[in-house]
């Protein structure tokens, strides 16, 4: 069964716009789970532009909710994550001035550092995923450095689909990487820029086990409500 991870960062973005307490990401996490999310994703960014330390701590404490914490390789964030002890970790690249995560990790450059970080989380029995671009060499390096999962950056596919450009080459790359990863024993996830249409396209790839979706879910919820939108995504990924 394919799983849906709901990224609630932008609930915190809306809260922070007022500098007060509403809407509360903690309540959003519980609500998303109640209406069908298989896990909750939050990104503790170095600049804390949305999720704050206390949010991460409290959300990870909720019983019966699987939490996927996205972090950069920054050592103080890694140490915080080890303390907070989420169920899952997804390591992502982070640039200060980017609006959102613009691409996958540079695995070649950060191989040794990533291997060390993965082994720290492994010791704590925390499932680790690497956010990567869909290239065979990145899948092979992922295997070499011992990650249990990869999350394929789907931003390029999403942009092609949204701008009504040809996307068959990109989907073939994602399919190839997913197939190789699965054969190597790595679980495959997908995320970034996904809406109903791109999720439907990707749901045909059997090897993809988990989708992590944020911005579109929160945006669409303004019109249709979080419950309806999560249910729609769940029914898309089931097919």
Instruction: Indicate whether 31 belongs to the interface with ligand PXP (CB under 6 A).
Output: no
CB 27 within 8 A of CB 62: no
- Closest CB 144 distance from ligand PXP, rounded Å: 21
CA distance readout (Å), 153 to 18, 98, 134, 156, 160: 31, 15, 7, 8, 13
3-state helix, strand, coil in the chain (%, to 5): 50, 15, 35
What are residue 85's phi and psi, to 5 degrees?
55, 65
Q: Interface mask (CB under 6 A) for ligand PXP, residues 2-21, using x and -?
A: -----x--------------
- Of the pair 171, 194, the CB lying nearest ligand PXP is at 194
Q: Which of 181, 200, 161 is nearest to 189 (CA)?
A: 181
Q: Interface mask (CB under 6 A) for ligand PXP, residues 181-200, using x and -?
A: ----------xxxx------
- Closest CB 111 distance from ligand PXP, rounded Å: 19
Instruction: Indicate whether 25 belongs to the interface with ligand PXP (CB under 6 A).
Output: no
- Indicate which residues carry an active-site annotation: 43, 70, 192
Sign of the alpha-carbon dihedral angle for 1, 192, 195, 10: positive
Q: Which of 101, 178, 198, 221 binds ligand PXP (CB under 6 A)?
A: 101
Instruction: Indicate whether 151 belongs to the interface with ligand PXP (CB under 6 A).
Output: yes
- Of the pair 29, 63, the CB lying nearest ligand PXP is at 29
């Amino acid at each position: 069964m394919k799983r849906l991870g709901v990224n609630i960062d932008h609930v915190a973005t809306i809260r922070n716009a007022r500098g007060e307490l509403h809407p509360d990401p903690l309540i959003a996490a519980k609500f998303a789970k109640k209406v069908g999310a298989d896990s909750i994703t939050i990104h503790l960014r170095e600049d804390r532009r949305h999720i704050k330390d206390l949010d991460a701590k409290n959300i990870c404490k909720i019983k019966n909710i699987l939490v996927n914490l996205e972090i950069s390789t920054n050592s103080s964030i890694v140490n915080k994550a080890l303390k907070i002890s989420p169920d899952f970790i997804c390591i992502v690249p982070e640039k200060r001035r980017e609006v959102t995560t613009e691409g996958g990790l540079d695995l070649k450059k950060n191989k040794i550092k990533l291997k060390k970080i993965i082994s720290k989380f492994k010791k704590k029995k925390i499932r680790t995923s690497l956010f990567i671009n869909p290239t065979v060499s990145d899948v092979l390096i992922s295997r070499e450095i011992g990650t249990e999962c990869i999350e394929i950056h789907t931003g390029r596919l999403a942009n092609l689909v949204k701008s009504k450009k040809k996307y068959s080459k990109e989907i073939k790359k994602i399919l190839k990487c997913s197939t190789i990863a699965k054969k190597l024993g790595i679980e495959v996830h997908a995320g970034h820029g996904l809406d109903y249409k791109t999720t439907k396209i990707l749901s045909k790839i059997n090897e993809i086990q988990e989708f992590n979706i944020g911005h579109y879910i929160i945006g669409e919820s303004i019109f249709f409500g979080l419950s309806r939108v999560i249910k729609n995504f769940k029914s898309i990924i089931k097919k």
